[in-house]
Structure 1
Amino acid sequence: MATFQVPDLGRLTEAVKDILTVRRVFGEPVETDGALVIPVARVSGGSGVGFGSGSSDRPDSDKPDDNDGSGGRPGSEEGGGGGFGVNVKADGIYLIRDGEAQWVPALDFNRLAASGMMLGLAAIVAWVVTSRN
């Protein structure tokens, strides 16, 4: 029977902290034409881990022999898994020139297109409703 090894959660935590840092939100400043440009993004992440074990007194007749030597006989089983995901979205930049800071938002073309489609759909529905009378 294979033994399940618990992952090093300390190493996993350090990797997550490296991914979700301030540098990911505020990128490296860039100086150009006498101005300082600081990129800004929205970063979010999530993770999950699961482990399980169990035993059974009854044989599993449909369970094929999985070459672990048990041959589908009663015994115990273990399992585990996990995952991690990160979402990064550009929000805009801070432009610093001559001691003045200016916020310049990023243009989200996907959101703009979706808003345009919704507005167009609303106009079509309004036209259909008013033309029926």
Structure 2
Amino acid sequence: MDVQELLTGARDAITVRRVFADPYEKDGVTVIAAATVAGGGGGGGGHDAEGEEGEGAGFGVGARPAGVYVIKGGDVLWRPAVDLDRVVTVVGAVLITFLLTRARVARARLDARPRRRR
């Protein structure tokens, strides 16, 4: 695969159709799903000590649900997608960090207190 083919594939991969799904209509309500799409790529070329030339490139795309637009009676509502796995992961990480640092903070406070003489 040459670089031009890679760029063509990347251009085709990141389109508005990756972000917004086709509208779905039922009973007078239209729903349009939306996603967050990100991509990146890189490439390069060069030659070795014997003068042999080479080139290479790569590209990747990732997508996550963002939510849906709900159109009903002329009103448009945004309903965000909630990634429960991500919420649980973040809450768990915060809780673990709190538990691990709580003892250190308590120890630092005790060490910082002035000592009384008897």
Task: Classify the TM-score, shorter chain.
Answer: 0.7 to 0.9
Counterpart in 2 of 1:80?
55
Which stretch has the larger CA shift, 45-54 or 90-99?
A: 45-54
- Find out whether 1:119 has 2:94 as its counterpart: yes
Distance 2:48 2:95 in 1: 56
Larger relative contact order (Cα-Cα within 8 Å, sequence gap ≥ 6): 1
Task: Give structure 2 stretches of 5+ with no counterpart.
Answer: 111-118
**Superposition CA RMSD, Å:** 2.4
1:91 partner amino acid: A
TM-score (normalised: structure 2)? 0.75
Distance 2:104 2:27 in 1: 55
TM-score (normalised: structure 1)? 0.68
**Which structure is higher in helix share?**
2
Paired residues, number:
108
Distance 1:18 1:36 in 2: 27
Change (3 A) 1:33 1:131: farther
Give identity over the alignment, percent: 36
Task: Give structure 1 stretches of 5+ with no counterpart.
Answer: 1-5, 56-74
